[in-house]
Structure 1
């Protein structure tokens, strides 16, 4: 190992690297978390082509966007890698890997979790050197770091790329917003009537959802303060957004599926604060420079909340037992503790967060 950096040991740089593959094919927030790791790779290997092995939405988002990703290869759906999207051709992972081997990658990084499913794929790319994370049930790579669940995701992947001589250059994810994004947002939303705030009440995992009526109370308070309030959501979150709008009881602007991901980035860039559950759009908002108030379950706060407080206020629920059956839901991570980590319930783990805490945090950021 070379001399330690700010974040710990840095491995030897791989010589004569022309092309780097990075596997990270999951959801929006997961991708935002690896942006500092990609920046570290770019700084360490400035002349190499960095190719992201991702999902179709990565290819669309990264088209004509500056940053550390030079190209996206869409990896087929596979267990533990990504789910299929509508109208996608049948998966041909073997064909994809054969084509990827023809690219002659010098370096392949697994930044896709513990590696049980992803390490075999990275190893099959045929790169001169493989590196990344390894849980106990995963096969090794040439250079690997143990995957330990409770660790901030940004730091986790910065440690991983440090294995190949890429020390951290930042710990703050940043996604550039381009003119086309701003044009789209302006076309959909029009010019703001005043300072805008956005609420995003959805989340794929229902345990991370703060109740819609609480978001409605926040919307009513901020609209009363004179802010233009947007309520954003995906088409699958239409019902949740409608519940927030109804609970607000004052004019707010629902935006369900009206913006592309780039357009949403520009929308958030123009907001004075974004208030959200712990979900991809919250991390997108932070990455484009918006102040944020995030509602977090404490375990997710450890892994995903921004450590910075100049522009971000994470509000934590300390619930660790299922609100329905009372079972301790931590033993899946800590197997020696009594209880069961396999509780089937998916009720909110953050419903105990008081509205006043979220409103006060938002008003503090807005005042600043």
Structure 2
């Protein structure tokens, strides 16, 4: 009697993959924190086609992540920003269009990257419908036939979590994908540096002299240190002869105005930035970045610039990765709330950090780098 066929070892199945879909559907900062895991896949499968399925904003990363061959933009209805973007559209239209393109692409493997509060199963169902035979993800639920390979997700926000970068590196290691270089990835181009220099000169900044870059923005209100407090910290830095440059993203001009006004003069304010490469070059040229727990902090980690991170206690796993940093906050009983807006109304985890602490943290990082 002939026995049932024995499946090949896990690593062997995955090392035969030639077209791999990497799924990371949340914010740009989350994508940046997953780049070491992307690199582990690339190092293990140097000839494979690697495509990233991500929110459309991730297209901004395309020129800066040469380890990827393609970025596919998709508003996922099971992700907060994706659901908002799809409001008013016919239900299912975006999913059907994506499914058709995934079927045509003939991927033979997919890796779904999530935080511990997200479910991988909606994306896993899409992968199954697209005919992708190998699918890897963390999961809390019983996935049954939706995943070929899974890592049980036992992390709890309240009892401690791995860093987000480590979580995703551990995921891909499950199928044998590792890298000796666990740094965040972001490639700067010459045109990025040239654009940043032009912006600085236009704002009256001497790029040859040291400057501190202050970025008061963040997508969630709960993660924003008060703009006026940024201005007060900047005034303290300016008194010591440093050039202080304020920057922010689209729609954050009001934060820039408030911070610059609170500084009382002497700062250099750039218009809200739309080019990610220009922002990264500004960060790379700074002695220190001062900002919130947001994308620019992870850009700083990718380009090696020290960071003062005004880190709201909303979630614990997104601190600056492998870069000199000072993480500032005030401990509160409501820590790890996972809220986009402070549910208590006091915002004490950030509001009670004094501007003098921010300035001293920046000086400490500069002294260490000297």
Bin of the TM-score, shorter chain as denominator length? 0.7 to 0.9
For the Cα contact (< 8 Å) 1:237–1:256, is it kept in 2? no
1:251 aligns with 2:266: yes
Equivalent-residue separation in structure 2 for 1:25 and 1:81 (angstroms):
10
1:323-365 C-alpha deviation (Å, 9 max, x unpaired): xxxxxx65x78xxxxxx99984565232122223222221011
1:193-246 CA-partner distances (Å, limit 9, x unpaired): 621111111212212221222211111011111111111112322222211111
Q: Which residue of 2 aligns with 1:286?
A: 301
Taking structure 2 as the reference length, the TM-score comes to: 0.83
**How far, CA to CA, are the matches of 2:359 and 2:191 in structure 1?**
33
My pick for the range that moved more, 145-154 or 223-232, is: 145-154
What's 1:52 paired with?
Answer: 52
Distance 1:177 1:341, change over 3 A: closer
Partner of 2:112: 110
Counterpart Cα distance in 2 of 1:354 and 1:137 = 47
1:260 to partner: Cα distance: 0.8
Return the offset for 1:272.
0.6
Asked whether the 8 Å contact 1:110–1:122 carries over to 2, the reply is: no
Count the aligned residue pairs.
Answer: 341
Conserved? CA contact 1:20–1:48, under 8 Å: yes
Task: For residues 1-27 of structure 1, give each alpha carbon's deviation from its aligned partner in whole angstroms, at most 9, with x where no partner exists.
Answer: xxxxxxxxx962414211110011321
d(CA) in 1 for partners of 2:45, 2:250? 40
* Maintained 8 Å contact 1:207/1:347: no
Structure 2 partner of 1:163: 174
Structure 1 window deviating more from structure 2 (142-151 vs 344-353): it is 344-353
Secondary structure, in 3 states, of the residue corresponding to 2:183?
Answer: coil
Structure 2 residue matching 1:350: 3-state secondary structure: helix
What are structure 2's unaligned runs of at least 5 residues? 1-8
Structure 1 residue 81: Cα displacement: 7.0
- The 8 Å contact of residues 221 and 340 in structure 2, kept in 1 or not, is answered as no
Q: Is the 8 A contact 1:54 1:72 kept in 2?
A: yes
Question: Structure 2 residue aligned with 1:173, among 184, 188, 201?
Answer: 184
| Residues 169-178 or 134-143, more deviating | 134-143
> Does structure 2 retain, via aligned residues, the 8 Å contact 1:296–1:317?
no
Q: Cα deviations across residues 163-190 of structure 1 (Å, max 9, x unaligned)?
A: 2210243332131111121122122222
| Displacement after TM superposition at 1:85 (Å) | 5.7
> How far apart are residue 154 of structure 1 and its match?
0.3
Q: Which residue of 2 aligns with 1:306?
A: 320
Structure 1 residues 219 and 260: CA distance shift in structure 2, 3 A: same
Aligned partner of residue 47 in structure 2, secondary structure: coil
Calculate the TM-score normalised by the size of structure 1.
Answer: 0.83
Change (3 A) 1:286 1:89: farther
Aligned counterpart in structure 2 of residue 100 of structure 1, from 91, 102, 105 = 102
Deviation at 1:61, TM superposition (A): 2.6
Q: Contact 2:223/2:314 (CA < 8 Å) preserved in 1? A: no
Aligned to 1:201: 216
**Residues 172 and 141 (structure 1), Cα distance of their counterparts in 2 relative to 1, 3 Å cut:** same
Distance in 1 between the 2:130 and 2:172 partners? 17
Aligned to 2:78: 79
